[in-house]
Amino acid sequence: MKFTEEQALALAPDEASKKAGKDLANPNKWVSRGANESAMWGECQGSGSKPYQTQVDLGNIAFKCSCPSRKFPCKHGLGLLVLSARQPALFTSTEAPPWVTDWISKRTETAEKKEEKKDKPVDEAAQAKRLQAREQSVTKGIEELLLWMKDIVRNGILTIPEKDHAFFNNVVRRMVDAKAPGLANMVKTLANTNFYQDGWQTGFMDQLARMFLVISGYAQQNLPETLKEDVRNWIGFTQNQDELKEQPGISDIWMVLGKQLTEEDNLTTERTWFYGTQSGKYAMVLQFSVRGQGVLLSLAPGMQLQAELVFFPSAQPMRAIIKTQATSNTVITINGFKNWSQVAEAETNVNASLPFGPERPFIVHQVTPVFHASQWWLSDVEKSLVQLKDSWKNLYTLLSLSGGDPLDIAVIGRENVYEPIGAWAAGGYVSLTD
């Protein structure tokens, strides 16, 4: 897999790493360099007596470096990729040193053990017993959550901002104990309402209603099978991804629209958004990493993959896993929505079958950021407006790209509030999620 300089820098975890990576893309800083079909490696002279050993798994886009940095990729990994993009002729050695082959071998061995574990027979009786016990625990937890929600409605919500953290945290812990982590996250979202913002009541009640739809759906037996899967997913039941990979997916040239990172305790969640350039479908791939380990696949916004994606069962499939993938340099065509009315129509169709779904991505043509009524909006060619998310941090980057002219952009959101994750400008795709 080959990277352009832009794709390599798009993998940077922050701007400081991006700048440091550029500085290290200097052949004088590298004691050795090499690459073959499976890996890229180099030794970068740092402040110590021994150079840092940096390596990249090109098959699955993973990084390892002997430096003490906890960032993934670190500045040395970025510098190595940028140097290879600028001066590929410098990477003449194709015989990997032992510290590279050992790492690649261990990764291959781990993948093989995972395959062997998958092939072992399953004790279906024990599995069914565990599932039954969990469902009973979830049902009891839902009963308590529903009572808590009814008390909120009966007592009114005007005093909610005065509640202390325990009011929400006790319920979060109870949902975790009840083995319903999805419901715990929904309560956390409720607790994170910005009570200092005018109109907070609307968002609060909207989230409360979404929670009620999910827990009410869990008690229903006559839902469509795909909608049942959505309900169970929101509660916290997981799908076996090895089994999912055995199913046929959608092969397409998928473009990476953007990445969103969230951190909680030691766990980092990475959401990567895709657009199928031939199918017109959108997809979201989730990756999780414990701090200091990095994610399995590093995908840069703007990158194109010839890939097969398998979608999780859903009334409106969005989350997917990558079954097979390779880079693609095919010239692609982007067919987005012409205006916000088309986006609203698409959302209406989604909500008709999945009323509690998450935020979704959309590509919208010819959008201009405008300031109106003391806040920022996104205007389409028909001068229709949707609100720019208040917490969005890259407004000035978007303004500099636009210069007052309309842009084709990719956004994430729902209803009337959106945040851009990328834009087509200056002949290329620019990420807006850094």
Summarize pLDDT for 69-103 with one digit per residue, the tens.
877 789 999 999 999 999 999 998 889 999 999 99
The predicted pLDDT at position 320 comes to 96
pLDDT for res 345: 96
Rounded-to-integer distance, Cα 391 and Cα 433, Å: 12
The Cα–Cα gap between 313 and 309 comes to: 13
Q: Answer yes or no: are the C-beta atoms of 290 and 266 closer than 8 Å.
A: yes
Q: Which two three-digit tokens encode residue 74?
A: 């670190």
Q: Is 287 helix (H, G, I), strand (E, B) or coil?
A: strand
Q: What is the pLDDT of residue 241?
A: 86
DSSP class per residue in 164-224? -HHHHHHHHHHHHHTT-HHHHHHHHHHHT--TTSTTHHHHHHHHHHHHHHHHHHHT-SSS-
Q: How far apart are the first and last CA of the chain?
A: 23
- Reading the block at residue 100, the tokens are 């590279």
DSSP secondary structure string for all residues of 73-96: S-HHHHHHHHHHHH-GGG--B-S-
In this prediction the pTM is: 0.74
Q: Using 70 as the pLDDT threshold, list the residues of the chain that sit under it.
A: 1, 112, 115-122, 266, 290-297, 434
Q: Alpha-carbon distance 109 to 101, whole Å?
A: 12
Rounded Cα distance between 93 and 81, Å, is 15
Q: Name, in order, each residue with C-beta under 8 angstroms of 2's C-beta and a sequence gap of 6 or more.
A: 84, 85, 88, 327
* Sequence-separated (6 or more) residues with CB below 8 Å from residue 105: none
Supply the pLDDT for residue 434: 67
Note the pLDDT of residue 250: 96
Q: Which amino acid does the sequence have at 391?
A: S
Tell me what pLDDT residue 112 has: 67
